[in-house]
Every structure is written in C-alpha cells, then in structure tokens.
Structure 1
C-alpha cells in the first residue's frame, strides 16, 4: 500500500547480475569451487539471495563477453559486481578463504580512511571483476 511517497512493504527483495560467459561449465565450476556458490542451471548464489547472486548465460560468441573496463575513480578494472560485507573481520576471512581456493586477486585489500572503507577484488574466468568491501561495524 502506498502512503504518500512511501511504501509499507519492500517492493524489491533482491536482485541479481546477469553476465554473458564464454564457457558456462568452466564458469559454473569456478563459482562453485572457488567462490563457494550454490550452482544451478539458472544462477550461482552465495549466502542465499541477499548475498552474491549472478545469472550466467552462455554467450553466442567470445566477442559478446564484455566485462567492465576502466572507470573514473578506479586505477584498475571497474567492478562488474560489488558485494557488501558485514564488517572487516568477515571481509578478512572471506579474503583468506578465496585466496586459499585460488581466486585471482586483481585488487589486494586496501583501506580508504575517508570512509573508513576496506575492500578487495577478484577476477572470474572471463575477467569479470567481483569486488568485496564494507565498513568496520565492529568498532
């Protein structure tokens, strides 16, 4: 029900990113084994639908796979997917987990003191950049 400009319920519960991949089986294996996702025919998810949610679609040709390139404010590849993490402890644990599983790090952990914000990023088999970050809610 609408009350003025506010709604009494959440209209959007979650969303997912749709990406074209060059080899869906290779991508599914990566998301399952390296990122620890549940993998189905339709999506890869971690921490149910409030966590990392991506729909992988097999591209018609390799030229159709187009991860983000550089963007203003980024010294490296701009993220294709950004995942917020609850706090720096959880972020550090996730970093160690993904590194141990062989994730390709494109941005090592860094802290932006203006935030304060901490983050890191990895690349998937098609060079999509998945970034993880958050504030330190433990302090």
Structure 2
C-alpha cells in the first residue's frame, strides 16, 4: 500500500493532503508584511504565509476587482442546532484553543491588526463557542473559533 492511500472496506481510498487557501491580494508586498508582522506568519518570496497549521498562498491580483472576500452566506434553518449561519462573511475559519483566542487577538491588536469583531461567546445545542473576527488589509475575514462542551463549570 502506498503512503498516500488507506484501506477502507477492502477498497483503497486516496488520502488528500493539507488544504492551502489562496488569496488574491491588491498589494503583494504589503500583504506579505501584514501576514508576517501582524498575523505572525512565516512568509517567503513565493507568497506562502504560514503559522502553525494555518497556511495561505498570497498572489498578486491583476485588478482590484479580482480581490473578493466572501459575502455573507444565506441563513439556513436546517443546521443541527438553532444556529442559522454566520452574520458576517467568512473567508477562513481557524480553530484555536479557548484559552489562546483572547491572547492571539491581543497579539494582533498590539501589532496594529484589524479586529473586526471582538471576542464573543454563545452556544449552539450542547456546545459553547467563542469567536472573534480578524481582517487582513484586503478585507478577508479570519474567524477565530473555539468550542467546548457546555457544562456548569463553563457557564
């Protein structure tokens, strides 16, 4: 069996690798600086911006019209809880520990980063969540999301 395959029900299934998001940006040099100096990423000349498990490829847009952060998605009533969807456009959702979310928001803020939505908490079904929304200089939204099971100690 090859390294990139695994057996499933006596069939071989191809294993997919890490997902890398690509961002068309209005000014590659300024974006590389923001991702490095504000978001804390390692950035190379190719446009790779990486921190821990978060990885983007920044590419220069041909036109400002090509820089298109996601719009707000349509609400939908059939999620498994009472939640009907986000109130803002999401370009990336980044899992982060409950304890680290506030610290990272403060790190970004202290470096002049754009905190579009301050950390807030809520609940969906049996889960408690804490989110915050950070933007890059082109308006791409990074949702920082932490979740944990609700229990009386957390409330």
In the superposition, relative to structure 1, how do residues 127 and 6 fare at CA in structure 2: closer, same or farther (>3 Å)? farther
Cα distance in 2, alignment partners of residues 113 and 5 from structure 1: 40
Q: Cα distance, 1:31 vs. partner?
A: 0.3
Partner of 2:50: 45
Partner of 1:94: 104
Q: 1:24 aligns with which of 23, 28, 33?
A: 28
Q: 2:39 aligns with which of 21, 27, 35?
A: 35
Larger CA deviation: 52-61 vs 11-20 = 11-20
Pair 1:117-2:119 in alignment? no
Cα distance in 2, alignment partners of residues 98 and 82 from structure 1: 16
**Number of equivalenced pairs:** 133
In the superposition, relative to structure 1, how do residues 11 and 95 fare at CA in structure 2: closer, same or farther (>3 Å)? same
- Bigger Rg over Cα: 2
Partner of 2:77: none
Structure 1 outlier segments of 4+, above 4 Å? 5-8
Structure number having the greater helix percentage: 1
Q: Name stretches of at least 5 consecutive residues in structure 2 with no aligned partner.
A: 1-5, 75-84
Q: 2:8 aligns with which of 3, 24, 33?
A: 3
Q: 1:69 aligns with which of 68, 71, 85?
A: 71
Higher relative contact order (CA 8 A, sep 6+): 1
Cα distance in 1, alignment partners of residues 8 and 106 from structure 2: 46
Structure number having the greater strand percentage: 2
TM-score by length of structure 2 reads: 0.77
In the superposition, relative to structure 1, how do residues 3 and 108 fare at CA in structure 2: closer, same or farther (>3 Å)? same
Q: Name stretches of at least 5 consecutive residues in structure 1 with no aligned partner.
A: none
Pair 1:130-2:130 in alignment? no
